[in-house]
Structure 1
Amino acid sequence: MTGINLLILIALSAIWGGSFLLLRIGVPQFGPVALIESRLALAALFLGIMALVVGRKLQWRSRWRHYLLLGGINSALPFLLLAFSAQTLSASLMSILNATTPIWGAVLAAVWGRTPLTGTTGLGLILGTVGVAILVGFDAITMTPGAPLAIAASLSASLSYAVASMYARSRTQIEPFDNAHGSLWGATLLVLPLALMLPPPSMPQPSMWGAAITLGVLCTGIAYLMYFRLVKEVGAAPALTVTFLVPVFGVLWGHWLLDEVLGLHTLAGSALVICGTALVTGFSPRSLFQKRIRH
């Protein structure tokens, strides 16, 4: 991995970690549905402009069912679940729970794909589960009304991402950029009826639109382009190491900008989740650089 790609990896982690902060800021004024519709529409428009610039056609007529399905399970559903959770949970807790996506992926691969669990994968699942239990069991926010449902929604969002990843892998003939572009339009269309029924509770302040635009353009549109570059340059497995760094930035942004409490249980729980995810994915820091040296 080159120095530039490493910087992109860190920047992408910081951006995606910041998305949980923006959810916490934007949801109170926009409401969960309106904020997510804005995020999806702005991201779709941004990637639409990029597609025009590079001359990529979406092929909507032949792939509209695929884009709607992928958009539903990869963007619309998990984004709405996380926005719902942001009404109750801290940005730190949401970012850590989101790191369980590869763990859910291993479970789905064993159940759905009939891939046997190895000892290392099993240990990773145990560590990840214990980490979530520590976060949930010792975090004071879990005592607030609606917290159990919000935690379940965050974990369900991670499960939805894992399902979407398995589905996308079965459609390898479609380019990653096309999947992102088409699925964002599909997700925008799916959420639109709900957004019309559930408008913002009040007119958002002008400053809040900055949060919505940043969430849509930077945290979704530009972040997708950065991620696709990493996948192309270093491969899918090294690019997925962003999963380990996002909670780090999510916790830092939440603590620094929202004064969220950073307790010992937060550090212990997040460490176990990250270690469990690393074991499940077979991640080794040395592999990031060995691959580059061999080439």
Structure 2
Amino acid sequence: MNFIELLLLAAIWGASFLFLRIAAPEFGPFALIALRVGIAALVLAPVLRSAAARSQCRSKAWPLFVVGVSNSAVPFALFAYSTLSVNAGIDSILNATTPIWAALIAALWFGHAMNRSQACGLMLGLAGVAVLVWDSAGAGVAGVPLAIAAALLAAVCYGFALNYSKQHLAGVQPLVVAFGSQLFASVVLLPPALLSWPQHAIAPAIWACVAALGVVCTGFAYILYFRLIERVGASYAASVTFLIPVFGLIWGAVFLNEKITPAMLAGCAITLLGTALASGKLGSLLPGKRKAKTSPG
């Protein structure tokens, strides 16, 4: 059951890149993401029924604001911008570099030592990104290099937010963090969204994509993710990182006829191997190591 939920979560987050690819050209990055985080905040708002949750929201307002900006407002908008020029599959692979940047930021900014395995993972992951960039930039499509840079910057933001939340939001209910971050992201994105709001009519199918982004890919996905953390632990839940690109590639190919090239597959494999090393999860995938761990089921 836990593995089925993990697959479901990966499928949902993989689909988010599909919906971004469809809706971003119609709404623009700021308006689309303001809607996404605003809808997600409404979905997660019932957490405030608890007095303890309301107290944590008030006492941790500033850290929640920082996480809202660095983990939602900025990276979501960057990915929305990226999908204007880069296909959903590539963005989902670049998103998977988050643990690599998290390890690098932990070492450079927060003073955590990086071991040899993590350093090798960092270099290997960057090599995988280089393969992807070479393949995509070689297509000669205008805007691709900048789009790839935006997606990588989004992953860097996620890496910073991961380290920051560990230091400043330890002990806060996970759903409080989810709600508070979406609320503050909504506040930050409201002005640029209003200034760039589309002047043309939006088709119902595009609005359906927006609803799916907010309700399913953000609100429901956070609930599912944190439920997995509660039941089987953060390490198991975080392994969704390795499955998201698989679904990102599949959804892009099935619904948008995006081509999956050998270079994309090679870049994906190299990037995920580097991610596994950088995040320290490669050992848990080995048979000898698996026996020593308690079964999540």
Which residue of the partner structure matches residue 21 of structure 2? 24
Mapped to 2, the partners of 1:218 and 1:58 lie a distance apart of 24
Which residue of the partner structure matches residue 239 of structure 1? 237
The CA deviation at 1:61 is: 3.3
Question: 1:117–1:50: structure 2 CA closer, same or farther, 3 Å change rule?
Answer: closer
State the SS of the aligned residue for 1:261: coil
Please say if residues 58 and 182 of structure 1, whose CA atoms lie closer than 8 Å, have aligned partners that are also in contact: no
Mapped to 2, the partners of 1:15 and 1:63 lie a distance apart of 29
Which residue of the partner structure matches residue 251 of structure 2? 253
Please tell me the residue identity of whatever aligns with 2:11: A
Question: 1:87–1:68: structure 2 CA closer, same or farther, 3 Å change rule?
Answer: same
Please say if residues 29 and 201 of structure 1, whose CA atoms lie closer than 8 Å, have aligned partners that are also in contact: no
Question: Structure 1 stretches of 5 or more lacking a match?
Answer: none
Deviates more, 1:215-224 or 1:29-38: 29-38
Match of 2:271 among 270, 273, 276: 273
Question: 1:200–1:282: structure 2 CA closer, same or farther, 3 Å change rule?
Answer: same
The CA deviation at 1:221 is: 0.3
Question: 1:55–1:14: structure 2 CA closer, same or farther, 3 Å change rule?
Answer: farther
State the SS of the aligned residue for 1:58: helix
Which residue of the partner structure matches residue 121 of structure 1? 118
Stretches (4+) displaced over 4 A: 286-290
Deviates more, 1:112-121 or 1:8-17: 112-121
Which residue of the partner structure matches residue 78 of structure 2? 81
Question: 1:12–1:140: structure 2 CA closer, same or farther, 3 Å change rule?
Answer: same
Question: 1:194–1:88: structure 2 CA closer, same or farther, 3 Å change rule?
Answer: same
State the SS of the aligned residue for 1:292: coil
The CA deviation at 1:291 is: 3.3
- Residue identity (%): 43
Please say if residues 137 and 144 of structure 2, whose CA atoms lie closer than 8 Å, have aligned partners that are also in contact: no
TM-score (norm 1): 0.93
Which residue of the partner structure matches residue 35 of structure 1? 32
State the SS of the aligned residue for 1:45: helix
Q: Is 1:165 matched up with 2:162?
A: yes
- The alignment of Structure 1 onto Structure 2 pairs a total of residues equal to 291
Q: Please show how residues 59-98 of structure 1 align to structure 2 within 5 Å.
A: 59=55, 60-98=57-95
Which residue of the partner structure matches residue 58 of structure 1? 54
Question: 1:267–1:225: structure 2 CA closer, same or farther, 3 Å change rule?
Answer: same
Deviates more, 1:112-121 or 1:269-278: 112-121
Deviates more, 1:270-279 or 1:41-50: 41-50
Q: Is 1:291 matched up with 2:278?
A: no
Aligned-pair Cα RMSD in Å: 1.9
Which residue of the partner structure matches residue 205 of structure 2? 207
Please say if residues 47 and 175 of structure 2, whose CA atoms lie closer than 8 Å, have aligned partners that are also in contact: no
Which residue of the partner structure matches residue 46 of structure 1? 43
The CA deviation at 1:246 is: 0.3
Question: Structure 2 stretches of 5 or more lacking a match?
Answer: none
Please tell me the residue identity of whatever aligns with 1:89: V
Please say if residues 53 and 173 of structure 2, whose CA atoms lie closer than 8 Å, have aligned partners that are also in contact: no
